[in-house]
Amino acid sequence: MHIITVEGIGDRQRGLHPVQERLAEAHGSQCGFCTPGFVMSMYALLRSSKHPPTEEQIEDSLAGNLCRCTGYRPIIDAFRVFAKTDDSLYTASPSENANGQAICPSTGKPCSCRNETDVNANESSTLSSVKVYLPCSYNEIDGNSYSEKELIFPPELQLRKFMPLKLNGFNGIRWYRPLKLEQLLYLRSCYPDAKLIIGNSEVGVETKFKNAQYKVMISVTHVPELHTLKVEEHGLHIGSAVRLAQLQKFLKNVIAERGSHETSSCHAILRQLKWFAGTQIRNVASVGGNICTASPISDLNPLWMATGANFQIIDVNNNVRTTAAKDFFLGYRKVDLKADEVLLSVILPWTRPYEYVKEFKQAHRREDDIALVNAGMRMHITEAEGNWIVSDVSIVYGGVAAVPLTAAKTEKFLVGKKLDDGLLDETFNLLKEDIPLAENAPGGMVEFRSSLTLSFFFKFFLYVTHEMNIKGLSKVGLDAANMSAIQSYTRPVSIGAQGYESVGQGTAVGQPMVHMSAILQVAKCSPGFAGLFLSKDVPGSNHIGPIIHDEEVFASDIVTCVGHHDNAKVAANKVNIEYSELPAILSISEAVKAGSFHPNTTRCLSNGDVDQCFASNTCDKIIEGEIRVGGQEHFYMEPQCTFVWPVDSGNEIHMISSTQGSPEASEVCR
């Protein structure tokens, strides 16, 4: 494994990498918290691209990065220069219409921008100070001050042979990495309760936020039998450890090489993967991990079921069995997988002529969000006596039950029916019976989610009708309104502009200048980072305390706090607490009515006799009334911490801290 961090690609001493330089100079960094992540996402895209990426690819690669300061416009603008563009549209002579007016290559409409030669002097001076960047890929990048060669994977690591690993962690945790399926099955027989991990995208959430405890973990990232991707006679053979990003590339190649009638399922899965988390998650998450996690809102599991996929499962005795995807999910987070078994692969069958598969997903937002409701649907149409009849159909919904739910009654009703508009009303009534949502269903928004189940089928019906019409098999076409329902969502490339007047006042105020911290933020994961300091580096006493100085600032030998904290979490998970429900008091008026007051808080500051003043009618004005201020729910993106930096060659220390014990914090700095 070779890890490259934001510090490794460039810094102020060696010079900034062009990616860092662009982000700083384009004002893409403000608070700096998210900046290293954006830099490394763009850097990774350039290093993994054989050609300059498109603007769409750049935006896709940044979908998993969050920023709450810039509004993203300057970040996208900063990285847009690395995109592959057609500059000939702007550098070639402009085309003209019949009246001799120039046609703008951006809008396709007449414009006079190319005839304007006089430019305001202030604008000219401002633009001349902006550095021009040409589109480039990582092979062509040469920053002004960047002198380092691009980092490569260390040859000594390439020559090193992989070995099985066994690591022992805190509190008896054991971690194994087998290199063969045989070794994996042996470990499975020894530790039937062990957790199999690949990208850790789900296990990390379970252990950190759900207090899950796994004593034995087995990494299957290096088991080649689980990483197979093969094109076979009856379909695709997909290893359970294949990463979702690898699956995307594989499906694109298959679609390009095989006939369209065989790859309807491949198209549907590929379209669904586009909205599956972000690039960073797809790079590590696996096919089998998503299946065996058995999330009720998995974007792929309804599709595996609808397409008729089969799962191959192997046990510790090398016995392989095959089960249909529709029979694999038994209950909430429960699957048909015994303790001595491992999911080996997924078999995705080819689709037949006139067989159509479609994916659906509705979330709060398109990118990087979990589904409210999703679905996978498949329909096979055959001709009988001059009519097109539904011969086979599969309708599976996710997000509406503890497992992906099949609309069994609806499927049975549709088989043998003629494909026409008369099907819809009765189908909708059956879908309401097949997919019931109780008023208190987890996730809420019951009416909206119920409407989505009907909407998805309506779109699928229109999709199949349109596909048959394209092939000349149906005389019924779709009008413009219905056509809009089946068109795949495509978001155009982000475009934004900022207009401002540059007014010089002798200072930086009002000027589009790069702020001083930007260079630090794009080159360091923590602004002002200088190095690692241990207890031996403390020049004075390493002990502190409010009265008795018996606490270490930096642990010198034994780290007590972290271990105690882990033990406390384990102990807390074993405690069962019984609560007696009390009436909720949610406002001051309710507290007054219930006589609920904080103890020892009765205090009064008085000056004069208020009652006498009111009774004497000598007050000019008496204002009466109430005002209510609701509570706020805060979203903390950054952790609360302390920021320390030296000034005056280290003779003075400045500190910004979120602590409420400022004297103790000052003592540490002193």
CATH number of the domain that residue 472 is part of? 3.30.390.50
pLDDT at residue 566 in the model? 52
Whether 147 maps to a domain, the answer reads no
Please write the tens of the pLDDT for every residue from 53-82.
999 999 999 988 988 888 889 999 999 989
Whether 415 maps to a domain, the answer reads yes
Closest CA to 201 of 353, 362, 370, 5: 370
The DSSP letter of residue 269 is: H
Domain co-membership, 113 together with 258: no
Domain co-membership, 253 together with 231: yes
pLDDT at residue 291 in the model? 97
pLDDT tier at 330, thresholds 50, 70, 90: very high
Q: Where does a domain end: 351, 374, 409?
A: 351
574 token code pair: 């074993």
DSSP helix/strand/coil, 320 = strand
pLDDT at residue 272 in the model? 97
DSSP helix/strand/coil, 542 = coil
Q: Where does a domain end: 104, 128, 152?
A: 128
Whether 514 maps to a domain, the answer reads no
Q: Which residues contact 534 (CB under 8 A, 6 or more apart)?
A: 554
How does strand 387-398 pair with strand 405-406?
A: antiparallel
pLDDT at residue 479 in the model? 85
pLDDT tier at 137, thresholds 50, 70, 90: very low
Q: Which residue range(s) make up the domain with 397?
A: 363-476
pLDDT tier at 518, thresholds 50, 70, 90: confident
Q: For the chain, how far is it from start to end, CA to CA, in angstroms? A: 41
Q: What is the mean pLDDT of residues 281-306?
A: 96
Q: How many domains does the chain have?
A: 3
What sign results for the dihedral spanned by CA atoms 135, 137, 140, 141?
positive
Domain co-membership, 260 together with 175: yes
Residue 432 phi, psi (nearest 5): -65, -35
pLDDT tier at 575, thresholds 50, 70, 90: low
Domain co-membership, 278 together with 192: yes
pLDDT at residue 120 in the model? 38
pLDDT at residue 396 in the model? 98
pLDDT at residue 127 in the model? 32
DSSP helix/strand/coil, 229 = strand
- The helix (run of H) or strand (run of E) holding residue 281 is helix 279-284
Domain co-membership, 369 together with 343: no
Per-chain mean pLDDT for the chain: 82
Please write the tens of the pLDDT for every residue from 644-655.
777 776 677 788
Domain co-membership, 336 together with 374: no
- pTM over 0.85, yes/no: no
Domain co-membership, 113 together with 201: no
Q: What is the mean pLDDT of residues 122-129?
A: 35
In this structure, which amino acid lies at residue 138? Y
pLDDT at residue 332 in the model? 94
Whether 554 maps to a domain, the answer reads no
Residue 619 has pLDDT above 70, yes or no: yes
pLDDT tier at 207, thresholds 50, 70, 90: confident
Domain co-membership, 344 together with 211: yes
Domain co-membership, 408 together with 460: yes
CATH number of the domain that residue 329 is part of? 3.30.465.10
Please write the tens of the pLDDT for every residue from 423-477.
898 999 999 999 999 888 888 899 999 999 999 999 999 999 999 988 888 777 7
Whether 328 maps to a domain, the answer reads yes
What sign results for the dihedral spanned by CA atoms 591, 596, 599, 605?
positive
Task: Kindly report the three-state secondary structure assignment for every residue of 149-209.
Answer: CCCCCCHHHHHCCCCCEEEECHHHCEEEECCCHHHHHHHHHHCCCCEEECCCCCHHHHHHH
Residue 124 has pLDDT above 70, yes or no: no
- The number of CA neighbours under 13 Å toward the Cβ of 231 is 12
Whether 313 maps to a domain, the answer reads yes
Whether 567 maps to a domain, the answer reads no
Domain co-membership, 383 together with 244: no
Cα-based distances in Å from 347 to 199, 231, 238, 312, 338: 22, 10, 6, 8, 20
Domain co-membership, 338 together with 386: no
CATH number of the domain that residue 65 is part of? 1.10.150.120
Domain co-membership, 256 together with 326: yes
Q: Tell me which of 552 and 304 has the higher pLDDT.
A: 304
Q: Which residues contact 521 (CB under 8 A, 6 or more apart)?
A: 24, 29, 32, 35, 36, 527
Whether 632 maps to a domain, the answer reads no
Q: Where does a domain end: 459, 476, 493?
A: 476
pLDDT at residue 543 in the model? 81
DSSP helix/strand/coil, 572 = helix
